Chain A
Amino acid sequence: MNKVLVQRKKWEPYVWLLPSTLLMTIFVVFPIFIVFKLAFSKISKAGVVTGFAGFDNFVAAVKDPAFGTVMLNTLIWVVAVVGLSTIIGFAVAMLLNSKFHGRKIARSIVVFPWATSLVIQASVWNYIIKYEYGNLNNLLLNLGIIKQAINWRSSYHIEFMWECGVGIFVTIPFVAFCVLAGLQSIDAAYYEAATVDGAGAWKKLRHVTIPLVMPSLTVSTVLNIIYVFNSFPIIYTITKGAPANKTDTIVTFLYMRAFYDQQKGPATALSVIGFLILCIVSGIYMSITMRSEENL
């Protein structure tokens, strides 16, 4: 009897893991394998695989004149959106954690941008900043704040800044709620002890709050790096990467390469490059933060 129980205990975890392992294999591992295979295949414009390409697709992708601009844009996009939304989201979480009238309503409102579809968010912002005839100009003109309509998208640099702004706006709630969850789990005794020891607000923040919400912050940052790096709707809806790939990130760029230019080989190679970059960046970030948590 004992032997049977031991056997059962040995197998049971695997049985419970089986459904999720199967799902992961079908929907994650298998597509990744296919993309890697395609990245080393010759693919015709119509989409037919015609043979083995070696590293040709990677060479074509990297040699593309727009590649440098796109990689730089991706870096700016990820650093700006993840960095600023983390800082602002942290501040919002601190605010929502403090006691004030209407806190529940405020918490509900903050979640709206995250709960709304990204395409809708991007489309709405597109209307708001639509050159000289967007809603922002109408509002400012009607309020008498400006006398002449302003072109809010007078260059691609400004358009890219708007796209980063929209990215930050929709990402803040996620950070805020991750941090808020961490803040609520902090025992009030820590702050009381810090007060007794004569710590001010800044020292409490630095030595109590930040270390204790660090696990939540790590999770939100890693997830945000992945989400923001792979984010497609904001840039595609507002500029489609125009003019001449100046506002493209790697994801919009590879989409346009695959489905507008019919260059599916280089597009899949770009996809693999993006995947590897994400793995490396997330891995480094997690190992650094985990090491620093262990040192606490």
Chain B
Amino acid sequence: MKKLTVAILIVALAMGSLFAQGAQETKAAAAEPITLDVIIAQYGPNTQNWFLGNGLNGSNFVKLFEAANPDVKLNLEVVSWNDLYTVVSTRISNNNAPDILNIDTFADYATEGLLLPVKDYCPDELYKDFFPSFIDQSVIDGTVWAVPDLASARTMYYNADMFKEVGIEVPATWAELEEACQAILDYYGGNVYPWGIDMTTDEGQAAFTYYTWNNEGGFVDKNNNWALNSAENVEAIKFAVDLYKKGYTNPSPATQTRYDLQDMFGAGKLAMVIAPNQLPTYLADKGYKINYGTAVIPANEGKAHGSTGIMDRIMAFKDDSYTDQAKRNAAIGKFLSFFYSKDVYTGWVSMEGFLPAVSSAVASLAASDPSFSAWLAVLDSCQFYPTAKAEWIDVKQGVIQVEQSALEGGDVKALLDALQAKVSK
């Protein structure tokens, strides 16, 4: 028995000393290459291959980066959007935040003091290359906390052959949209859904903008305060829900995602859909052959048209365990410089079918894609989600709940009033 006790004590002491040793160790001794943990969002089927396989000129981003920067190693992980928030949040909870993260939201991380200011690691030359209007979207209290990695703009796509067959014009106003929906419904006898709506937890917040921004409403007022229950918003959401109630839309806007709608559009089961600029790439990849046209998203009579822009970001987390913070910041800067270098970045943006966030990429992208300049003009007029506001996550999920409840017969005004009251607390 004594022997057993002694043995247990020895093992415990040995393990204790191991832990103590581990605690004293700090990352990145001066002579060794620094290793950065990087999490990249999976934008499409090519993302993984481009970063880790052989999708970048027969090699991949990590290999080429490490060859160009032997003093920096990348521990890079591509994570699907479905799992991204879970992975990041779990890692933060376990004090294991990545060094570099590619995601859409940043306000919670910034306000909780987890992020490094961009000026600490982003080289000046690169910083000046970002579109200023994009950088402005990542500012809280005068500090820039993230840089944009790409953008996309939303517009309305319509099945040109169907419109010709039915003999109708492309709608520009809500009244025209309802007329077009009715005409399509009458002509095809219910075999084609005239209008696509996605009010799922994936993209319900985008649906909110398609109607409110085209009725001169929106998430915030002119002073950037939440204005979720404005008369314009109530009218806009009622209009969208009425489209569903009148039978003009896909059967289940609360569960049918944008990808379901894009597939229905490609298969000729949906006449009109609001989708991002990368829809043509999506349709081509899936083998859909459809004659489509694009147009502005219909607006209420007498109201200005509003386009929806989506922007994702790259940000760097603090890590106090590094003895040489300047070296770490420089390594993060090298990552950004390599990622946004002309050939690498234009290849990345065009592969995924997105729009660029840096001005140096515009010329070569415009030369390779004739439709690119038009999209860039749309992007220029786009409004973005107010992601810099700390309550954004609550608002995002809140408007989706409002839409889904309204689809089930809930009173739009009462629902928006309740959300406004909750967010304003």
Interface residues of B (CB under 8 A from A): 1, 85-86, 88-90, 92-93, 108-109, 112, 114, 200-201, 250-252, 254-256, 264, 269, 393-394, 397, 401, 404-405, 407-408, 410
Among A48, A131, A132, A244, find the residue whose CB has the most chain B CB atoms closer than 10 A.
Answer: A244
In the bound complex, residues from chain B placing their C-beta under 8 Å from that of A47 are: 88-90, 92-93
A205 at the interface (CB under 8 A from B): no
Any B CB within 8 A of the CB of A186: no
Q: How far is the CB of A57 from chain B (nearest CB, A)?
A: 15
Asked whether A48 and B114 contact (CB < 8 A) given A242-B200, A260-B85, A261-B397, the answer is yes
Q: Is the CB of A239 closer than 8 A to any CB of chain B?
A: yes
Which of A49, A153, A240, A244 is in CB contact (< 8 Å) with B408? Answer: A244
CB distance from A6 to the nearest CB of B (A): 13
Instruction: Judge if A92 is at the interface, Cβ distance under 8 Å.
Output: no
Please judge, given known A-B contacts A46-B89, A47-B93, whether A262 and B405 are in contact too, CB under 8 Å: no
* Bound Cα distance A205, B186 (Å): 59
A to B CB contacts below 8 Å, 18 in the list: A44-B108, A46-B92, A47-B89, A49-B93, A131-B252, A133-B264, A153-B251, A153-B252, A156-B254, A156-B408, A239-B254, A243-B254, A243-B404, A243-B405, A244-B404, A244-B405, A261-B394, A262-B108
User: Binary interface profile of A, 35-63, with partner B (CB < 8 Å = 1, else 0)?
Assistant: 00000000111111100000000000000
With A242-B200, A244-B405, A260-B397 known as contacts, the answer to whether A154 contacts B251 (CB < 8 A) is yes
CA distance A259 to B1 in the complex (A): 50
CB-based contact B405/A133 at 8 Å: no
Give the interface of A toward B (CB within 8 A).
7, 43-49, 131-133, 151, 153-154, 156, 159, 238-240, 242-246, 256, 258-262, 264
Which A residues are CB-close (under 8 A) to B86? Answer: 259
Q: Of all chain B residues, which has the CB nearest A247?
A: B255
A38 to B282, CA, bound (A): 42
Cβ B408 vs Cβ A46 within 8 A: no
B408 to chain A: closest residue by CB: A243
Residues of A within 8 A of B108 (CB): 44-46, 262
**A199 CB to nearest B CB, Å:** 52
Least Cβ–Cβ distance between A20 and chain B, in angstroms:
19
- Given A47-B93, A242-B201; A261-B408 close (CB under 8 Å): no
What separation, in Å, do the CA atoms of A153 and B256 have in the docked complex? 11
A-B contact count (CB 8 A): 80
Assess whether A264 is in contact with B89, with CB atoms less than 8 Å apart.
yes
Chain A contact residues: helix, strand, loop or mixed: loop
Residues of B within 8 A of A154 (CB): 251
Give the distance to chain A from B339, nearest Cβ to Cβ, in Å: 24
B254 surroundings in chain A (CB, below 8 A) = 156, 239, 242-244
The residue of chain B having its C-beta at the shortest distance from the C-beta of A43 within the complex is B93
CA distance A244 to B93 in the complex (A): 28
B404 contacts which chain A residues (CB < 8 A)? Answer: 242-244
Residue in contact with A262 in the complex, picked from B114, B252, B256, B393, CB distance below 8 Å: B393
Q: B269, A133: Cβ atoms under 8 Å?
A: yes
Q: Can you add 20 more A-B contacts, CB < 8 Å, to A131-B250, A242-B404?
A: A46-B89, A46-B108, A46-B114, A131-B252, A133-B269, A153-B251, A154-B251, A156-B254, A239-B255, A240-B200, A242-B201, A243-B254, A244-B254, A244-B410, A258-B89, A259-B85, A259-B86, A262-B89, A262-B393, A264-B89
Which residue of chain A has its CB nearest to the CB of B250? A131
In the complex, the answer to whether B255 meets A243 with C-beta atoms within 8 Å is yes
Output the least CB separation between A97 and chain B (Å): 41
Cα of A133 to Cα of B269 in the assembled complex, Å: 9
Residues on A with beta carbons closer than 8 Å to the beta carbon of B410: 244
A44 contacts across to B, CB distance below 8 A: 108, 112
Across-interface contacts of A256 in B (CB, < 8 A):
201
Q: Is B255 in contact with A260, judged by CB distance below 8 angstroms?
A: no
B255 touching A159, Cβ below 8 Å: yes
Check if B405 sits within 8 Å of A261, measured CB to CB: no
B256 / chain A contacts, CB cutoff of 8 Å: 131
Residues of A within 8 A of B394 (CB): 261
Is there contact, CB below 8 Å, between B89 and A259? Answer: yes
- Which chain B residues border A264 with CB–CB below 8 Å? 89, 93
Taking the closest CB of chain B, its distance from the CB of A160, in whole angstroms, is 12
* Residue contact B109 to A46, C-beta cutoff 8 Å: yes
Partner of A244, one of B1, B92, B112, B401: B401
A251 to chain B, nearest CB (A): 14
Q: How far is the CA of A1 from the CA of B254 in the complex (A)?
A: 75
Q: Most chain-B CB neighbours within 10 Å: which of A43, A48, A156?
A: A48
